[in-house]
Structure 1
Amino acid sequence: MKVYQAYNLYIASELLLPELIESEGNPDVIVRFGKVGDVTGAEFDRGSNFLGDLPGVGKFVISKGNEVIVDTLPGVEEALLRTLVLGPILCVLLRQRGLLVLHASCVDINNKAVAFMGGSGWGKSTLAAAFHTQGYDTLTDDVMPVEITAGRLTVFPAYPQFKLWPEALASLGHNTDSLSPVTQNSFKLAYKFPRRGFQQNPLPLHRIYVLSKGTNHEITSLQPQDAFVELVRHTRAMMAVTEPEFVASHLRLCTELVKNVSFRRFTRKPALADLPELVKLVEHDLADSADTLTATAKC
């Protein structure tokens, strides 16, 4: 059983997870194969004791934020299983551990976490990869866990890989010939980048850009009530973890995040050629905010 590091956890897994960074340490989480059997829903609560059933893949149990039992059907593709473990399964486990898990990609800008949040196909990964190409380190792609304690908001790094469309990778100057699909039936490619472009240390969350599609490139302020709605909308495993205590905790965490982080609406027109312009637009927005804070402090 190998030990890996991701999301500020040591993960010991019987399933090989080459996407993650191998490490050493006492496991916080164990992923193992086992027989779930014909258990009843009465033994699980859609919270700390979670039973999931993926048609054509198998069943899995996620317990108390520290154990995952995977019971697969014969012939399941290993790449698909890894994608499920590192995606929806770990999202449930991270929520069990008290984290707010957002559908967002995140980069390191001046030692602060800057996130791009939105639904599937909205360009989160592509935008984060554009920043990575410009020399910024990446923290997360698609799954962003946030720890919220006493008003302090911290993003935990994931692992050094993007899942991107071939056209997006090509537009960023990458050769896609040697890259493999994320899974056998996926159109997206797995782009594993060197550790030197991956921020392995947790960082304070500074800003969240909520992505939207439009006819122009524009960044505007987002009111707290609208930011709250977007957070609820883009929380991972929202429809899976429905135990009342978890739902109440989730709403409290969203409220706390809105109080302590600035939000922007980032509207972009679909144009891969404009990615360098989008990077500059965000850089200028962050710089303008810093100038405003400095001027306010001097007053």
Structure 2
Amino acid sequence: MNYFAFGLTIQTAINFEGVLQPSNESADITITEGAVPEKAGQLTRVQRRGVRAKFGRTADAIIINWDGIGKFRISDGNQIVYQNLGADEGTLRLFLLSEVFGVILYQRGLFLLHASAVEVNNQAIVFMGIPGAGKSTTATAFGKAGHTVLSDDLVAIQLIDNRAYAIPAFSQYKVWRQALNGLAIDASALSPSFEGAEKFLITQPLDTFPKEPVLLRQINILFPPNSRVNEGQISAIRAPVELLRHFPIPVQLLTKPYLPQHFQQSLQIAQSASIHFMKRTKDFQALEAYVAELGGERVD
């Protein structure tokens, strides 16, 4: 079966029905099951379901291993081979669509951020920060207000004619129970995320989820409400360092030729879209007021 995500057609026997849009196009990426004999022994900072990923590299592939879940061989920007180490299909989907797919996008030269992205007035706004900064909660508030959540956790940016665009990921995103309660969203009809009992899945309509890149308007780096950070736009020259802090896949991949490319792309993104330091709103009521205000702005 062929599916569509991150602007690419994926061929796989794994059932992504209801999660990814079906595709009739020829495959850009194939996902197949098989043995992954290569070693992955370097611990990374990437954690999912409490398990730290291990990293390995061969002459032609990148290996990521989550003990007890799966081992993945990613090569050429178009092939993923997975070895199931005891996970159910839902868990495999979760891990494939997170850091594993991030490595594929890395191999294809896209700019990656650990962030959430929403579409407002036909333009993309990105929210990122350290874990717990509120990026997913902020995206959920936009979703509640009727805006499309373009990406959850992993944002891919593509430069087209020197302008930055966010690539829509897929229609499903994860929400913490606390955020659902604070935003008065009924969780009774939502399925628990395979990542943990305190996270739930919201699935946006597949038939209306955008497929084309969305012009990037702004990147907001979130800080706690009591932070001493000075809010406002940062200079383009600071962009490479600030954006590098939010690299979403193993830092072992920050080597040549990607690292110089990352810095160059950061500068281009900062020239195309504004990058801001922003304090997270103090409560859910203030967050919804912010969403309403931003959503009502006219974009020329």
What is the TM-score when the length of structure 2 is the normalising length? Answer: 0.85
For structure 2, the 5+ residue unaligned runs are: 42-55
- The offset of 1:243, in angstroms, is 4.1
- The offset of 1:72, in angstroms, is 1.5
Residues 1:143 and 2:154 aligned together: yes
- 3-state SS of 2:173 partner: strand
Partner of 1:297: none
Moved more, 49-58 or 216-225: 216-225
Partner of 2:47: none
In structure 2, distance between residues paired with 1:10 and 1:167: 34
Partner of 1:63: 75
Q: Counterpart amino acid of 1:8? A: G
Structure with the higher fraction of residues in helix conformation: 1
Q: Counterpart amino acid of 2:11? A: A
Partner of 2:117: 106
Among 96, 99, 102, the residue aligned to 1:91: 102
- 3-state SS of 2:219 partner: strand
Alpha-carbon distance change, 279 to 39 in structure 1, aligned in 2, over 3 angstroms? closer
Aligned residues: 284
- The offset of 1:80, in angstroms, is 1.9
Alpha-carbon distance change, 57 to 261 in structure 1, aligned in 2, over 3 angstroms? same
Residues 1:49 and 2:48 aligned together: no
Residues 1:125 and 2:136 aligned together: yes
In structure 2, distance between residues paired with 1:5 and 1:167: 31
Deviations 1:158-177 (A, max 9, x none): 11122011121233332112
Q: Counterpart amino acid of 1:52? A: I
- The offset of 1:34, in angstroms, is 0.6
The answer as to whether partners of 1:33 and 1:69 remain within 8 angstroms in 2 is yes
The answer as to whether partners of 1:207 and 1:261 remain within 8 angstroms in 2 is yes
Aligned Cα root-mean-square deviation (Å): 2.6
Alpha-carbon distance change, 109 to 184 in structure 1, aligned in 2, over 3 angstroms? closer
- The offset of 1:197, in angstroms, is 6.3
Deviations 1:102-139 (A, max 9, x none): 11211222211111122322211211121122222221
- The offset of 1:83, in angstroms, is 0.9
Among 173, 195, 200, the residue aligned to 2:211: 200
Alpha-carbon distance change, 231 to 127 in structure 1, aligned in 2, over 3 angstroms? same
Deviations 1:25-65 (A, max 9, x none): 10000011011125699xx7479621222222232110111
Structure with the higher fraction of residues in strand conformation: 2
What is the TM-score when the length of structure 1 is the normalising length? Answer: 0.85
- 3-state SS of 1:92 partner: helix
Alpha-carbon distance change, 189 to 199 in structure 1, aligned in 2, over 3 angstroms? same
For structure 1, the 5+ residue unaligned runs are: 295-299
- 3-state SS of 2:251 partner: coil
The answer as to whether partners of 2:2 and 2:10 remain within 8 angstroms in 1 is yes
- The offset of 1:270, in angstroms, is 4.3
For the pair shown, the structure with the greater C-alpha radius of gyration is 1
In structure 1, distance between residues paired with 2:121 and 2:130: 26
Among 258, 270, 292, the residue aligned to 2:270: 258
The answer as to whether partners of 2:240 and 2:262 remain within 8 angstroms in 1 is no
Residues 1:5 and 2:4 aligned together: yes
- 3-state SS of 1:68 partner: strand
In structure 2, distance between residues paired with 1:150 and 1:24: 28
In structure 2, distance between residues paired with 1:22 and 1:218: 45
- The offset of 1:274, in angstroms, is 2.3
Alpha-carbon distance change, 135 to 46 in structure 1, aligned in 2, over 3 angstroms? farther
The answer as to whether partners of 1:46 and 1:243 remain within 8 angstroms in 2 is no
Q: Counterpart amino acid of 1:160? A: S
